[in-house]
Amino acid sequence: MLLWLKNHQKYIFILIPLIFISIFLFFQSSQNTTPISSPLNESPSELKEEAVQGSAAEADIIFVDIKGAIKRSGVYEMNNGDRVIDLVEQAGGELPAADMTAVNMAQKLFDEMVIIIPEKISEEAVNQAVQSDKININVATSTELETIPGIGPSKAAAIIQYREENGYFKSIEDMMNISGIGEKTFEQLKEFISTF
């Protein structure tokens, strides 16, 4: 035996350290069996769930533009599910001239939405709008005059002739000075005409 050991001494000196190193490495690897969490170790379903959660977090934030009769118009970052009333409060509230009856305050907001707060229309503006729909008998052409109910080509020509001979109509009642336009006809057309 001693002779055998003596003959293989150099192999034994190499083999013994290798055995100790192998045993050491074996115990080290068995202690570190918990895998490191990384995208490579995650299953496709786990990755998909994380992506959905990430996109859901992004979808919780929306950007909405508000303008018009509001104190601080601009683009606001809001939460998904907020309503117009929340945005109006965020923007400092409406101006005194705002017509909030035209705004649905309960409407849910969505990304890239534009809210315009309109102003109240004054009585003067309403009257002007109504007047603008009327035919100005002082400047209307024959074709325009014929759009008035009860005015045909002959009456339109009579109106223009009256204008040329007497100057502008001072009031719409002056129409009754034209032959063929009496009180009954005037009552039918007075809502459609103006002198300005």
Q: What tokens were used for 100?
A: 């909030």
Q: Who contacts 70 (Cβ-Cβ below 8 Å, separation ≥6)? A: 88, 91, 92, 93, 94, 95, 98, 117
Q: Give pTM, 2 decimals.
A: 0.40
Q: What mean pLDDT is predicted for residues 187-191?
A: 86
Arithmetic mean of pLDDT over the chain: 78
- Name which residue leads in pLDDT, 130 or 117: 117
pLDDT cut 90: percent of the chain above it: 25
pLDDT at 142: 87
pLDDT band (50, 70, 90) for residue 36: very low
Among 25-29, 61-65, 161-165, which is the least confidently predicted range?
Answer: 25-29
User: Is 139 within 8 Å of 194 (Cβ atoms)?
Assistant: no
Q: Which residues are bridge partners to 67 per DSSP?
A: 116
Q: What is the DSSP pairing of strand 114-117 with strand 135-136? A: unpaired
Pick the CATH number of 126-194 from 3.10.310.30, 1.10.150.320, 1.20.900.10, 3.30.565.10: 1.10.150.320
